[in-house]
Amino acid sequence: MALSDEQRLAELGYKQELNRSWSGFSNFAISFSIISILAGCFTTFAQAWNNGGPVAISIGWPLVSLFILIIGFCMSELASAYPTSGGIYWWASKLGGAKAGFYTGWLNLIGLVSVTASVGYGAASFLNTILGAQWPSYSTDFLGGDYIKQQFFLFLAIILVVTLINIYSGHLLSLFNNISVWWHVFGSAVVIAILLIVPEKHQTLSWMFTTKINSSGFSDNSYWLYVLPLGFLLTQYTITGFDASAHLSEETHDAHINAAKGIWKSIFYSAIGGYILLMAF
């Protein structure tokens, strides 16, 4: 007889505390949304273009994605064996002892706080610009017209709203993530279609796989050693956060299967979708 999710947690030493309202798709959706090929590819495209050029994208994206997928497969195995919301710090404590779990947990927390702040501030910056463009009086009157104060106010508002949703409505959070998947799919499709149809001229495949650009400040002799790895940061920065599927294990049905799939599938589909999107540029 198959063990229930609660029984699996009991075998690991503690009782079920969270409500399991997330489906396998919702679990996949949160990692896919955090990776966000639309946000990641657009914000760091210049990083790859200036540090390697088309080669950093056409060759770098699939190459780095492959290594990230290997990491994802390893994490999927661990998520299947230890389907707990603690995620990587729980795995570290089980496999490397209490000290490994302690340091992993704190480093993970620092990373989560930092990335939440950076994404929130980025969203506030975007929203602040949009509000100023649509309503000029906002730019001149709200908070005395101080751009930094306006942006910080929006940042705090965004963090507050997101925090309240996380605390009080796990179901609403999963709904947002489900919508986000299709937003990314259709949004990427629209961008790709525009890039393929509107421009009158397109570069050849040979150009995309052989053209090198070095605007890094390093000499051309160091292209392969220093410059190109900087361009690889496009992929490394974009395909991150997929451990979210593990952190939602205790809120996901059949977590030993669905959380594990959520990790590697979010990487796999993001890698494919991101590559098509980037090559369309």
* Domain limits, the chain: 21-280
Q: CB burial class (10 A; 0-12, 13-18, 19+) of residue 219? A: exposed
Contact assessment for residue 247 and residue 79, using Cβ atoms and an 8 Å cutoff: no
Residue 1: what pLDDT?
41
Residue 64: what pLDDT?
96
Residue 74: what pLDDT?
94
| Residue numbers in the chain where pLDDT is lower than 50 | 1
Residue 99: what pLDDT?
93
Task: Give dist(CA 124, CA 229) in Å, integer.
Answer: 30
Contact assessment for residue 35 and residue 241, using Cβ atoms and an 8 Å cutoff: yes
Residue 62: what pLDDT?
96
170: amino acid identity, one letter: G
Q: The whole model's pTM is what?
A: 0.83
Residue 216: what pLDDT?
84
- Please give the C-alpha separations between residue 25 and each of 12, 31, 85, 121, 184, in angstroms, as whole numbers: 25, 10, 17, 28, 15
pLDDT digits (tens, 9 = 90+) for 235-275: 998 898 898 898 888 888 888 889 999 999 999 999 999 99
Residue 67: what pLDDT?
97
Residue 247: what pLDDT?
87
Phi/psi-derived region of residue 135, left when phi > 0, alpha when psi is between -120 and 50, beta in every other case: beta
